[in-house]
């Protein structure tokens, strides 16, 4: 047996574990890195978001008219300047199930101080549903834990919107 074969055999044995008289192979763990990929850019002349109306304008510029629910995350720096926009979830005609980790992932990767989330109601009626309010509350709690403020949740309808912050839910 050559030295190479002996070293390979020893390496294989060192990656085995005896459990109840059986040899079990070691678990392979992937070493990974994460990065954001810029897909395109959007010019925003006002530079910072000062009101729900400013957020609404950006959403309309970014997505326009849609036939299903989109949940969008806008990441903001400490001066409330948008740094990244991400479509966190695309739902069906009348629902969008979203988990806080999907919303906060882009905020964490872009080192955001705060976020504004938007979603549209394809029906055109921006009145918040019970699910909209519950998701907002969950996102506020998640943001408090990780240090990223949810500044607002805007629900977009036909040429109008509702701010859940203005309605007192945030």
> pLDDT, tens digit, for every residue of 82-114?
999 999 988 865 656 788 998 999 999 999 999
CA distance 103 to 101: 5
Q: Let me know: does 154 contact 52? Beta carbons within 8 Å.
A: yes
Is 78 within a domain? yes
Is 80 contained in some domain? yes
The values of phi and psi at residue 74, to 5°, are -110, 120
Whether 123 maps to a domain, the answer reads: yes
Q: Provide the whole-model pTM.
A: 0.78
Which CATH number characterizes residue 136's domain? 3.40.140.10
Specify the number of domains making up the chain.
Answer: 1
Question: How far, in Å, are 31, 54, 109, 111, 118 from residue 35 at the CA level?
Answer: 14, 28, 7, 12, 23
Instruction: Evaluate whether residue 151 is within a structural domain.
Output: yes
Per-residue pLDDT at 161 exceeds 90? yes
Residue 14 placed within a domain: no
Dist. CA 160–CA 92, nearest whole Å: 21
Is residue 126 situated within a structural domain?
A: yes
Does 109 map to a domain? yes
Rounded distance between C-alpha atoms, residue 56 and residue 117, angstroms: 10
Model confidence at 48, pLDDT cuts 50, 70, 90, reads confident
For 62, residues 6+ apart whose C-beta sits below 8 A from its C-beta are 42, 72, 85
In a domain, 18, yes or no: no
Residue 140 lies in domain: 52-163
């Amino acid at each position: 047996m050559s030295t190479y074969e002996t070293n390979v055999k020893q390496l294989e044995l060192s990656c085995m574990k005896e459990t109840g008289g059986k040899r079990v192979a070691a678990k392979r763990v992937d070493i990974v890195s994460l990065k954001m990929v810029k897909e395109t850019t959007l010019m925003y002349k006002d530079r910072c978001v000062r009101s729900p109306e400013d957020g609404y304008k950006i959403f309309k510029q970014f997505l326009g008219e849609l036939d299903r629910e989109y949940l969008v995350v806008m990441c903001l720096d400490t001066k409330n300047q948008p740094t990244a926009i991400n479509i966190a979830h695309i739902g069906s005609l009348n629902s969008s199930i979203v988990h806080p980790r999907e919303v906060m992932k882009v905020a964490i990767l872009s080192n955001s101080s705060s976020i504004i989330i938007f979603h549209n109601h394809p029906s055109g009626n921006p009145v918040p549903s019970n699910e909209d309010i519950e998701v907002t509350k969950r996102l506020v709690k998640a943001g408090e834990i990780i240090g990223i403020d949810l500044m607002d949740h805007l629900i977009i309808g036909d040429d109008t919107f509702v701010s859940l912050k203005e309605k007192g839910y945030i």
